[in-house]
Structure 1
Amino acid sequence: MPTVLVADDTASIRFLIRTNLELEGYDVLEAVDGVDCVERLAALHEAGTLPDVVTVDVMMPRQDGVVTAAQIRADRRYDGVKLVMVSTQNLAADIKRGYDAGVDAYVTKPFDPDEFIATVARVLAGDPGATDA
């Protein structure tokens, strides 16, 4: 099954996402913020593996999710990694910022776990129509 790296500063959200993904058979890794996410990706790359998908919260300490997504997209080592932004920010301008940073899908909190899983699956399948859950 695919591997997902979940970057969120809220432990309960990481737990919710991890639990639902694992119930569907995904392998799940965690990062506590944007800096940790980028560091985890670099370490995984060095080990010869990468997650298939990274979910990234927008509002995190040290480095927000928009900057993190843009940083991941700018690094050619991560070209095959899909990005799903997860945020409470649901204004059109917020969503546009996420897509401008290079995410493949934008999910607003609170989200239905089944719809979230379906969004991750669509992104993995390369569905360009994968949008908000």
Structure 2
Amino acid sequence: MFVLVNGLIAGLALAAFLALGDGLFGTSTFSVLIDVSYVPGMENLPSIVELFIHLLISLVIAYVWLRFYPRGRGIEAAKYVFYWMLAFAVAFLPFSLLSGSTLSWTALLIWVLGHLLYATVLVVQVKRNRE
């Protein structure tokens, strides 16, 4: 149940944050997040279906977080989150290029902050789940 609820909450928070950032700063990070048109057979999916695919991926990530998040506090947990954040940040470049989005420092910053929000939601929920 943890994975379903918290994966959806974190995924929706990320999507909402990126959409808000796009509206405020004219970036296209939300479309980078949900675009799957570069996958063969998924070229013309409606945006809502692409969002559901994003949420499914969020469920998988939430499962991995619950399963592998370090039990101890401190440096191990911080390193775990740092490596995930690094992976999220690095993912911006190929996903932006694949979706045909314009690259900018503003878009990267919004992407990283959105994924920091995503990670924070999962960390808080993992800690609550373990108490």
Structure ranking higher in strand proportion: 1
TM-score (norm 2): 0.28
TM-score (norm 1): 0.28
Answer with 1 or 2: which has the greater Rg: 2
Structure ranking higher in helix proportion: 2
The one of the two structures with greater contact order (alpha-carbon pairs below 8 A, sep at least 6) is: 2
